[in-house]
Amino acid sequence: MYEAHYGFTERPFSVQPDPAFLYLGPGHKRAFVMLEYGLMHRGGFTVISGEVGAGKTTLIRHLLTRIPEGTKVGLITSTPRHETELLPRIMLAFDQPFEGISPIGLYKRFQDFLIAEYAKGGGVVLIVDEAQNLGPERLEELRMLSNINAEKDQLLQLVIVGQPQLRNILQHPDMLQFCQRVSADFHIRPLQQEECHAYIEHRLKVAGGAPALFTTLAKQLIYRASRGIPRVINVICDTSLVYGFATEAREIGTRIVQDVLADKRQHGVFPVSGARVYPVPLPQPPTSPLPQVAEES
């Protein structure tokens, strides 16, 4: 819609996880290092947690592009809260038969699958997204599967990704055995203001646009409203570009962003933090709130 107007080759702020747009700020870079460390050293569990929209799934998509050839990867992106058995879903993730097989039979088939892959010299990695939905019983089921070893080698590597509730579950005393199997872990925190500015500029550049399309004041306002959550930043920026296109604006300033936030407060369903106009600090403090500050465009 607005791509040609702003010189983009594609939308820069889609909410879909796309590793091509991955911004590796300090926090995300450390999280990815821990992911790679866990895989490189064939650790039992790697746990990555973060707020909703923090960029966890995008990191996983990027990780998938770095998996060594010959490694079998199973990806579970949906974890229903009330599912009583996890192993059938794991078998499905690896394209293994699971229907009409008893629990013991499934375990034997999965064990045989791991041993066969190990004999070929390949690894097996299971990635579970939205793992906070599993609960203690299903996480314990994963721990039991990690007991399948060949001498000193771990036949199954597990990457567990989830929201902050996952950390709460793992910090319970009953989960001590599970936590002792975790070889690498990291909690992704929201972006800081400078990181938010760099994130916006990075995505604009990757999409073929001008990194300075959003003014400094506009980026400050977006940071305040999003609290540094990448997915919320994307929603505000994408909508701001739509509004800018509608008015044929050549840059996105605070007035456009303020209109977006005001409309989301009154008419939207996406939970933008506060969704109200925040005063943005200037080098010399203004005598009136931002809505009355002269706009750059």
Confidence of residue 10 (pLDDT cuts 50, 70, 90): very high
Check whether residue 67 and residue 122 sit in a common domain: yes
CA 18 to chain centre: 10
Q: What is the percent of the chain with per-residue pLDDT over 70, rounded to a whole number?
A: 88
Check whether residue 166 and residue 101 sit in a common domain: yes
What is the residue range of 283's domain? 193-292
3-class state of residue 271 by DSSP: coil
**12 domain residue, yes or no:** no
Measure Cα distances from 153 to 183, 184, 249 in Å: 14, 17, 59
3-class state of residue 212 by DSSP: coil
Tokens 């706009």 -> residue? 295
pTM beyond 0.85: the answer is no
What is the domain count for the chain?
2
Q: What is the pLDDT of residues 76-116, one digit of tens each?
A: 987 777 777 889 999 999 999 988 889 899 999 999 999 99
pLDDT at 249 over 60: yes
Check whether residue 169 and residue 61 sit in a common domain: yes
**65 domain residue, yes or no:** yes
Q: Are 240 and 256 in contact (CB under 8 A)?
A: yes
